[in-house]
Amino acid sequence: SAAASAAAVPQRKAAEPAAVDVPAPRGGEGGLGSALSRVDPVTGFVNVDGGRIDDGRYGRFRDSIAGVIPQHRQIDDPIRTFAYGTDASFYRLTPKLVVKVHDEEEVAKVLPKAVEHEVPVTFRAAGTSLSGQAVTDSVLLKLSHTGTNFRDFKIEDGGKVITVEPGLIAGEVNRLLEAYQKKHNLPIKYKIGPDPSSIDSCMMGGVVANNSSGMCCGVKQNTYHTLRDMRIVFADGTVLDTADAQSRAAFMESHAHLVRGVQELAHKVRADEELTALIKKKFAIKCTTGYSINALVDHDPEDPIEIIKRLMIGSEGTLGFVSRMTYNTVPDYHHKASAFVLFPDIRSACTAAAVLRRETEVDAVEMFDWASLVQSKR
């Protein structure tokens, strides 16, 4: 299950002294002991999760965003920052500052300030991921839960397409599609492809950021394969709308260096037949960790925006903030069936699972060994 966004870390200015690796003080902040930390030789700023020591940059960052984010949406008191210091995982990092953002414009104004003051930023939607990518001891950029922010949606083409903002809950999106089908008396009901176990808690921002999957959607119906377009806010505040031709053209011009880099990387990967085959093999099965590098082999290098769009999926916020996403939905069949089948041994069960995958339209196969069955009886 997953529904949390993660970190977009500003880059160091080239003109400043480079950070060096030095042993952290034993028993220092964050319990780092003698582990190596990233320490700025000039300011002493420690830039590592669990060990950041404020050298004044957080105060400067907070002052710089005062004209964008009102004080009541900048949280730094010990009780509330402690409360925001965990998500659905078992990790805890207490943020120096929690910033509640209301819309895309605020995100686009805050991120450049984070770059300017070299303040690492982590995004959070619902925070239901089990992997801890929505916690930080730096700045937590949190979607405001006011009931109105980041919750716009638009249903098109008889329910086959839906555009949503990151604050909508995934299960809620399916209920919107169901209501649309009933209202217009349509013959087919649609739903989004991803079906994580936290579907009634996770938000769409996290579904995209983590490429959330689920029991039935597998690989074919996850976000990577069903997402049509998105709006992205990059660290410099630039907004790219992949559905808008003018936005794509403007980005290609303003970020030509980035675009060329993506194209060169795609060409380099494609030129390596062994690597290309390995990527295709690995991403033929469920993979919800790491970057979607299959985008480098799935899409033409001459369409770098498509590659960038796919790389955003599953990037956990490290490449930018997704402020809007458009999905191609999938049919939600009225009649469904399941079966419980016993096999004499695990090999026979595996063989049957392979046949079901290759030759049928079965959505999911779940396998239990004898130990699992015994446990379920107790």
What is the spatial order of strands in the sheet that 227-233 belongs to?
153-156, 161-164, 321-328, 227-233, 239-241
Task: Give the separation between CA 13 and CA 30, rounded to whole angstroms.
Answer: 26
**pLDDT tops 50 at residue 366:** yes
Domain that holds residue 13: 7-143
Residue 1 lies in a domain: no
Residues 59, 132 share a domain: yes
> 322: which 2 tokens?
């997704």
> What is the torsional sign of CA 151, 153, 159, 160?
negative
Residue 148 lies in a domain: no
Residue 336 lies in a domain: no
pLDDT of residue 46: 75
**pLDDT tops 50 at residue 28:** no
pLDDT of residue 161: 98
pLDDT of residue 290: 80
Residues 354, 269 share a domain: no
Residue 359 lies in a domain: yes
Residue 338 lies in a domain: no
Residue 249 lies in a domain: yes
**Residue 293 banded pLDDT, cuts 50, 70, 90:** very high
Residue 132 lies in a domain: yes
Arithmetic mean of pLDDT, 265-276: 97
Task: Give the separation between CA 98 and CA 138, rounded to whole angstroms.
Answer: 9
Angle of the 245-254 helix axis to the 304-312 helix axis, nearest 10 = 90
**Residue 38 banded pLDDT, cuts 50, 70, 90:** low
Residues 203, 138 share a domain: no
Stretch among 19-23, 114-118, 157-161, 370-374 having the lowest mean pLDDT: 19-23
Residues 56, 110 share a domain: yes
Arithmetic mean of pLDDT, 117-144: 92
* Final residue of a structural domain among 143, 176, 196: 143
Type of residue found at 24 = A
pLDDT of residue 189: 96
**Residue 232 banded pLDDT, cuts 50, 70, 90:** very high
> 214: which 2 tokens?
């689920």
**Residue 14 banded pLDDT, cuts 50, 70, 90:** very low
Q: Which of 87, 64, 77, 106 is closest to 6 using CA atoms?
A: 87
> 372: which 2 tokens?
């699992």
Chain-centroid distance, C-alpha 373: 35
* Final residue of a structural domain among 143, 163, 183: 143
**pLDDT tops 80 at residue 272:** yes
Condensed to tens digits (0 to 9), the pLDDT of residues 344-361 reads: 999 999 999 999 988 988
Residues 166, 130 share a domain: no
Q: Which of 196, 191, 144 is closest to 164 using CA atoms?
A: 191
Stretch among 202-211, 267-276, 279-288, 332-341 having the lowest mean pLDDT: 279-288
Condensed to tens digits (0 to 9), the pLDDT of residues 51-104 reads: 787 888 999 999 999 999 999 999 999 999 999 988 899 999 999 999 999 999
**Residue 21 banded pLDDT, cuts 50, 70, 90:** very low
Q: Which of 290, 319, 3 is closest to 166 using CA atoms?
A: 3
pLDDT of residue 7: 44
Residues 159, 131 share a domain: no
> Are the C-beta atoms of residues 170 and 199 closer than 8 Å to each other?
yes
Arithmetic mean of pLDDT, 32-42: 51
Residue 244 lies in a domain: yes
Residues 169, 138 share a domain: no
Residues 238, 94 share a domain: no
Task: Give the separation between CA 231 and CA 326, rounded to whole angstroms.
Answer: 9
Tell which wins on pLDDT, 309 or 36. Answer: 309
Residues 299, 259 share a domain: yes
**pLDDT tops 50 at residue 20:** no
Helix (H, G, I), strand (E, B) or coil at 96: coil
pLDDT of residue 105: 97
Residues 200, 78 share a domain: no
Condensed to tens digits (0 to 9), the pLDDT of residues 167-217 reads: 999 999 999 999 999 999 999 999 999 999 899 999 999 999 998 887 777
Q: Which of 361, 343, 339, 363 is closest to 352 using CA atoms?
A: 343
> Are the C-beta atoms of residues 108 and 240 closer than 8 Å to each other?
no
pLDDT of residue 81: 94
Residues 243, 189 share a domain: yes
Arithmetic mean of pLDDT, 253-271: 97
As for how many domains the chain has, the answer is 3
Residues 114, 12 share a domain: yes
Tell which wins on pLDDT, 33 or 282. Answer: 282
pLDDT of residue 16: 40
**pLDDT tops 80 at residue 5:** no
pLDDT of residue 43: 66
**CATH number of the domain within which 173 lies:** 3.30.465.10
Task: Give the separation between CA 224 and CA 244, rounded to whole angstroms.
Answer: 19
> Are the C-beta atoms of residues 324 and 232 closer than 8 Å to each other?
no
**CATH number of the domain within which 111 lies:** 3.30.43.10
